Homo-oligomer: A and B are copies of this chain.
Amino acid sequence: MTATGPSIGIIGTGAIGGFYGVLLARAGYDVHFLLRSEYEAVIENGLLVNSAIHGRLHLDGVQAYRDAADMPKCDWVLVGAKSTSNNALAPLIAQASAEHAKVVVLQNGLGVEDALRQALPERVHLLGGLCFICVHRSAPGVVEHQALGGINLGYHSGPATDLEQKALVEEGAAMFRKAGVDSSAAPNLAQARWQKLVWNMPYNGLSVLLNAGTSRLMGNPDSRALVKAIMEEACGAAAACGHPLPEVLVERMLMATDHMPDYLPSMYHDHKERRPMELDAIYAAPLAAAEQVGLAMPRVESLYRALRFLDAESGARQ
């Protein structure tokens, strides 16, 4: 199959970048993967997604690069790397971007686009992508996809007019849908980020602190109540920051998590493998936003401080 349509660059071919990159390439898009430690393995064996939904997806003859300078200038640039490395990533993103590229940040947390925007050229469009997916890397070039997979996209900043913004977001969503990914426009990116945080705040941190996946956290009445209380605190902060979320959100998220297979969030894997945890984007930034409007988040702050302690003690490679 010959590549058609826009070219796509994947910056950070971990679980998220690998998964969406493989699906887009298999749908016929011209996808280019920037890799570091896994380059050799991917050149040799290709990329493999073991998906509970799509089956075994193998991508051979991967267009892989060790250096962003060698990549073609891409129309779409998907940033799947951790937000903890955004400072180092910005120049690579700029290098891989065509003149008016659409850069999509597929990261968790608040303020990740703001931080990246400072370091990107004005000519590029910056979008945020909220991934609802259970996925993790099991070996170099191998991604395990357990459940879900949708992406909601929202425009953050760049040279587009309001009307152009809508069209760009719709173009991106259509591209993902063509690759078999449920995708739609998030009319309000900040609100969408808060909504995602309502899930990430309890599960990411508690999986580390209590050394447990979603099934055990949901199966024990105390951790379940703690999850719920943290979700409600996050919803309160979202509302105080001007982004009220639907009343039923917490109950829906609890129910959705009940129906998920047992899942260990990325923060769990980061901590186990002594990588820095995404504490700034998932905890510090929302805590600061809430504090600015005078709202305390005692549960989230306690969790954040406990995680900062563990991060410091683990000697994670910052």
Contact = CB atoms under 8 A, between A and B. Distances in A.
A223 B309 contact: yes
Given A210-B310, A220-B309, A299-B302, 4 more contacts: A206-B306, A210-B313, A220-B313, A226-B305
A306 B209 contact: yes
B305 A303 contact: no
A212 interface: yes
11 contacts: A210-B306, A212-B309, A216-B313, A220-B313, A222-B312, A223-B305, A223-B309, A226-B305, A226-B306, A299-B299, A302-B303
Contacts of A305: 222-223, 225-226
A306 B229 contact: no
A24 to B, nearest CB: 40
A298 interface: yes
A308 interface: yes
Nearest to A216: B313
Q: Which 9 A-B pairs have the closest CB atoms?
A: A222-B308, A222-B305, A298-B298, A226-B305, A223-B309, A299-B302, A222-B309, A220-B309, A298-B299
A224 to B, nearest CB: 9
Contacts of A301: 229
A120 to B, nearest CB: 31
Contacts of A217: 309
A220 B313 CA distance: 9
Contacts of A310: 210
Contacts of A233: 298
Contacts of A210: 306, 309-310, 313
Interface string A202-221: 00001001101000110010
Contacts of A230: 302
A312 B226 CA distance: 15
A143 B303 CA distance: 35
Nearest to A311: B222
In this complex, the member of A301, A305, A308 whose beta carbon has the largest number of chain B beta carbons within 10 angstroms is A305
Contacts of A206: 306
Nearest to A217: B309
